[in-house]
Structure 1
Amino acid sequence: MTDPIAPQILIVDDARDIREPLGQYMRKQGYRTRLAANAAEAREILADAAIHFVILDIMMPGEDGLSLCRWLVAQGGPPVLLLTAMADETDRIVGLELGADDYLVKPFNPRELLARVRAVLRRSPPEIAPTPSGKRKFANWTHDPDALKLQHADGQLIDITTAENRLLSIFLDQPRTVLSRATLLDLTAGREAKVYDRAIDNQISRLRRKIEPDPKNPQILVTEWGGGYRLVADVEVAP
């Protein structure tokens, strides 16, 4: 199942044999996807859904991809990767001049497209989830996000960093849900170029040393191999 807070990608291409397989591939990589056969459909989706990235074919009937790209950039919209034909060097240059973030020549390897999407998302402005106020209880702990503290049922108080505070809050928002590294990166550190996947692993390790009875055998914040991490605990508002 795709993570409900994973980045959502809009794929705009009039070729169904490209649009639909690409949508399936990106979903398998953990992204949510919306599909549009033309610019008009794309505009409707953009008006109603939170789109984080647009994969946009240049050559389409009606309004072409360059026109839609120009409109997206003017609106301060999400990052855009253009799909171009081999001979369309001029269109590629124009697209980049308009503000497209990257381009890829057809036919392309889906793995290369995935790598380019990830790279652009990392360079995009951070979308850091706000840390909620209010204490919450999980396992034998009470989390106080305003005070940056954890209190154990036995009365022990532990200080946590701002980064640990935000990370724990995200897990408490979605208990028993597998959260991928990419999702956690987006919601904690933002998509900065210097941030790397293992940064999340390091933060998880530090958090485990504070909340797990045995950090080497975690029972609260567990690893889902190939998927990410999951908080295995019920969460309730603390009085």
Structure 2
Amino acid sequence: MARIRARLRSNRATPPAGNTAHFNGWTAHFERYALQDAAGRETTFSHAEAEVLRLFLDSPKRLISRAQMQESLGGAAGESFDRAMDVRISRLRTKLGEDPKNPRLIKTIYGAGYIFLGDVTWS
């Protein structure tokens, strides 16, 4: 039931425009799994990282709890899912040049989840 709800919600949340997001000097090309910075340099990201990034970019400036992430991404319950999310988010932060001690785009809200603070436009 949770997967059906997540699928319905993701269909609703998918932007009508293209598959490219622009945020804070970055461009995410989801069709080819590439992040491009303002200078034009590209970094690739994995499918798993793309799922998490897409979840953040579809809901900017809104708190996303671990339960919502688990429901949306279809992960198994438990500590292994939490750890996998931590790793994916850490890798995304690294690719976005975030300071691990003080990230600006993907903030951890202790005990609640994560929030993406960038302004997002789709094309």
TM-score (norm 2): 0.80
- Aligned CA distance change for structure 1 residues 151 and 222 (closer, same or farther; 3 Å): same
- Counterpart selection for 1:147 from 32, 49, 54: 32
Aligned mate of 1:138, from 23, 26, 46: 23
Larger RCO (CA under 8 A, 6+ residues apart): 2
Distance change >3 Å, CA 156–CA 197, structure 1 → 2: same
Match of 2:42 in 1: 157
Aligned partners of 1:187, 1:209: CA distance in 2, in Å?
Answer: 23
Read off the aligned partner of 1:204 and give its amino acid letter.
I
Task: Name the amino acid aligned to 1:187.
Answer: S
Deviations 1:160-217 (A, max 9, x none): 00011111011111100010111112212x1435752222111111111101342332
How far 1:125 moved relative to its partner? Answer: 8.0
* Alpha-carbon displacement from aligned partner over 1:120-172 (angstroms, at most 9, x marks no partner): x6xx7895647765211011100111110110001110100001111101111
8 Å Cα contact 1:150/1:157 also seen in 2? yes
Matched, 1:221 2:106: yes
Given that residues 180 and 227 in structure 1 are in contact (C-alpha distance below 8 angstroms), is that contact kept between their aligned partners in structure 2?
yes
TM-score, normalised relative to structure 1: 0.44
Tell me if the contact between 1:126 and 1:192 (Cα under 8 Å) persists in the aligned partners.
no
Q: Runs of 4+ in structure 1 displaced over 6 angstroms?
A: none
The count of corresponding residues between Structure 1 and Structure 2 is 116
- Structure 1 SS opposite 2:64: coil
- Secondary structure at the residue paired with 2:19? coil
The letter for the 1-side match of 2:107 is: V
Q: What amino acid sits opposite 1:198 in the alignment?
A: R
Q: Residue 76 of structure 2 corresponds to which residue in structure 1?
A: 192
Are the structure 2 counterparts of residues 193 and 179 from structure 1 closer, same or farther at C-alpha, using a change threshold of 3 Å? closer
Aligned pairs for 1:84-233 within 5 A: 127=6, 129=10, 133-188=18-73, 190-192=74-76, 195-233=80-118
* Counterpart mapping for 1:32-51 below 5 A: none
Deviation digits for residues 7-46 of structure 1 (CA, Å, limit 9, x no counterpart): xxxxxxxxxxxxxxxxxxxxxxxxxxxxxxxxxxxxxxxx
Unaligned ranges ≥5, structure 2: none
Q: Secondary structure at the match of 1:197?
A: helix
